[in-house]
Amino acid sequence: MDISFTLPSLLQPADLMTLMRHIKESRNIVICGHHAPDGDALGSTLAWQGYLRALGKKANVVMPNAHPDFLRWMPQSQTVKNFRDHYAVARRLIDEADLFFFLDLNEMQRMQALGSYIAQHSRAPRLVVDHHLNPKTEEFDLMVSYPDMSSTCELILRLLIELGAYDDLTPTQATQLYTGIMTDTGCFSYSIADPLTFALAGMLLRKGIDAEEINKNVYHSWSENKLRLWNHILSKNLRTYPELHTSLYTLTRQTMKDFHFIRGDAEGLVNEPLKVKGMKLSIALREDTEEDVIRVSLRSTGGFQCRDMAEQFFNGGGHANAAGGKLPFPIEEAVKKAEEAIAAYADELKKPAERNIKD
Ligand code: 5GP
Ligand code: MN
């Protein structure tokens, strides 16, 4: 069976040369992902670390803060240093670094305190591989930016193929990359307009990874507390605005305490209301556990793009259908702000959801 396909190159020859030169000239490389690392950020940074280490480089992943518990099973995830819990060692790695890779992020600010520290203390080149819209090109030395791509993991895999590294890709790296593609596409259910995404996932399966096990590790490893928390939010806390095809819920520190919340327990919850037929926008307002801010998560479907709302009302940004931001005030005021945002988009939200599949 021949399932060969042509893979268009990601990089112009000059950029590929630049990338290879930077790697060749460096010894101590630090790889970072965005704040609150998800499966894509963790998978892509770890797989890239594996590639660089195989080249004989000293490469380390440094994250702004800890990744969620539901990703702890990921091979090598325990080696990741984060700027909050491993401050001294993370700082030393950054101070020694002669090259940075920033994966799954489009601006230094997405790394919060880690980004500020690097900007202030290091002059080492900064290279980016990312799939978010509106990259801040001026902050980086080389940018591999493909906002249409499903995930940074897909991008990293393509880059590795382009660099001739597919044959040496290990099952560990393939597992890391598959996780990022799987989580960023909601198990291959969105951001998958490109048939290549499936072909590339197939190339990872060929490395002998256990896709079923990966899926179980990520999605079916809930605690009972998490199950009850989701039930509580959806049954007691969800407000809906049926004419506007919109829903909104809050998650307070008190509720987190009541349900013995651990990091990652609310991950994905914001997608749930979109399972209601016709629903176009889901808004989540969550009291942050580390800072005095409200984290805003937006998810949309049916033709509504939530990124503009995130930029205009929530000091944030993101993708067309998955965006977020933060608000510097108490939860009640955050609800008012969200209702203001919903009202401002009422005309657009009122229209029935568009169907992707044409009858
Ligand atoms: P989540 O709801 O999972 O926290 O975030 C979804 C997406 O929204 C992220 O992938 C990111 O693109 C974007 N996002 C979340 N928070 C922020 C923020 O504070 N600023 C910006 N610019 N984008 C954000
Ligand atoms: Mn991503």
| Domain-embedded: residue 331 | yes
Q: Which ligand is nearest to the CA of 106?
A: 1
The three-state secondary structure class of 96 is: helix
206 and 329 within one domain: no
- The rounded Å distance from CA 137 to ligand 1 centre is 18
234 and 211 within one domain: no
Question: How far from 1 is each of 20, 167, 194, 246, CA to CA, in Å?
Answer: 34, 19, 22, 47
Q: Which ligand is nearest to the CA of 184?
A: 2
Residue 355: per-residue pLDDT: 73
Average pLDDT for the chain: 95
Ligand 1 neighbours (beta carbon < 6 A): 132, 297, 316-319, 322-326
169 and 31 within one domain: yes
Shortest-distance Cα residue to atom 12 of ligand 1: 318
Pocket test for ligand 1, best of 297, 300, 308, 327 (most atoms within 8 A of CB): 297
- Kindly state the DSSP code that residue 70 receives in the 8-state scheme: G
| Domain-embedded: residue 32 | yes
Residue 6: per-residue pLDDT: 80
Q: Region 74-88: what's the mean pLDDT?
A: 97
Q: How many CB atoms lie within 10 A of CB 244?
A: 19
Banded pLDDT at 3 (limits 50, 70, 90): low
Of 198, 218, 238, the residue at which a domain comes to its end is 218
Banded pLDDT at 290 (limits 50, 70, 90): confident
42 and 114 within one domain: yes
Q: Global pTM? A: 0.89
* Nearest CA among 246, 327, 317, 315 for reference residue 285: 327
The three-state secondary structure class of 296 is: strand
Shortest-distance Cα residue to atom 13 of ligand 1: 318
Q: Which ligand is nearest to the CA of 108?
A: 1
Percentage of the chain modeled with pLDDT above 90: 90
Residues contacting residue 295 through CB under 8 Å, at least 6 positions apart:
284, 285, 286, 287, 288, 324, 326
Give the domain extent around 318: 224-350
- The rounded Å distance from CA 275 to ligand 1 centre is 21
